[in-house]
Structures are given as structure tokens and as C-alpha cells.
Amino acid sequence: MSAEASLPALTRGEGPHAGQPLALAGPAPGDARLALVMLHGRGAGPEDMLGLHDHLGLPDVLAIAPAAAGRSWWPGSFLAPLAQNEPALSSALSVVAALLADLDRAGIGPERVVLAGFSQGACLTLEAAARLSPPLRAVAALSGALVGMGEAEGPVQAALYGHADKRFDYDGSLAGVPLLIGCHERDPHIPLARVRTSAEVLEGMGAEAKTLVIPGSGHSLVEEEIAWLRGQLKDG
């Protein structure tokens, strides 16, 4: 039985992202060793993330990639005041929660799930991990950083690309969860200052966080990130 025959064809959750298409690849949940939930970036779609699944070369891993309404999880920068990105941000988080619940009901608990995303999807990946705090097998944020829980007092900062800082007051635990945040040194969308803060916050939640800073400018996947993700998905 294929994955398509045993999981819902549409994403659940609440708000604007509910009812969007759901792309699947690999075995059915009952035959899958692990599941990889993959969150695409702004302007992209689930098919882009399934291409990464193909590149990983792990046919016994079920891949699930939800689609964002309008191909974007929220309208503004992840650095912008949170109110500017609602209700889309909350809806995006509800989609991730619903997918994890669906997998759990299908027999794949969070300890067998790797959550990964690229760009805007990487920001959603980290924010979902921090807010939902499931005991995931691993988390991979490929060019992303935390969105935050609220606005912090203080001025705008050049290091945050002209935005003010956020509050990061999560109350869950990510104890022992391997976590990667990869980002170019000069990423046009993801400031390195927020990447470093995110790693500190997630380490404070107990995650085994690794920061991969890629020299130079860019906003793309690199082989070191893919190798780390493949390592988390291998047997063992």
C-alpha cells in the first residue's frame, strides 16, 4: 500500500492553510521506518521538498509535504511584528500539529519523525518545534531561524535587518533532540544574529543544537546540511 492510499490527501489544521494539498512519497505509514515532514519556502511548493527526499535516497522513509495557501506560510518577513503575519502564522503551526497527530494515529510517534524545512519553511520548522515541543527524532532548519512568541522592548537593529527583537519565552522541552540550523554568513533573508539567538534559545530548551554557518552570501541548501539530515534518517 502506498502512502497516498493511507493518509489524508489534504492538510488539516485551522485557518487559511487548512484544506491545502498534501504531497506524499515513500511507503505507507505501516511500512515506513521513519517519517520526514517537510515544509517548503515562500514561493515554492511541496514538490520542491519531495525533490530533496529523492536526493536523500532513503526509500523506506515516508515523506509528507504540506502546501501553504498562496505558496507562502505568512505574508511578511519572519522578523516583522507577529500581528502582521496573523492569522497565517497560527494556521501554519496548526497544520504541523495536525500532521504530527495524524502520524501518531497512524502508528508513527514523534520519536520516529524528523521535521525539516527550507527558508520560510525552516522558520516554521523551528517555531513549531519550540512551541509544540514534541519529542522529535530530529529537526533541520535549512536557512531559517525562530519567529518568536511576541515583541520585545528595544529599538530596531541593523543586525536584524532593520527590525526589533522578539521574545522567545517557550515553556516546552526539546531535551535530547538533535537540531540543525544552517544559514549562509550573509543571507539576504535570515540575519545571522537571529540564527545565533535561535540556537541559544533552543539549547536552553535542551536541544542538541548545531549551527552550520556557511561562508559568504547565499540562500540555498548545501551538501553539509543534506548530509546531516541524511545521517539523522539512517538506521540506528
**Predicted pLDDT of residue 1:** 42
**Predicted pLDDT of residue 235:** 72
Closest-CA residue to 34 (of 63, 2, 67): 63
Segment 173-199, tens digit of pLDDT: 999 999 999 999 999 999 999 999 999
Closest-CA residue to 52 (of 39, 42, 43): 39
Class of domain 3-233: alpha beta
Q: Which residues in the chain land under pLDDT 50?
A: 1, 5
Segment 58-78, tens digit of pLDDT: 999 999 999 999 999 999 999
Contacts of 91 (CB under 8 A, 6+ apart): 13, 14, 15, 16, 17, 18, 69
- Dihedral of the alpha carbons of 120, 121, 122, 126, in degrees to the nearest 10: 110
Domain positions in the chain are 3-233
**Predicted pLDDT of residue 5:** 44
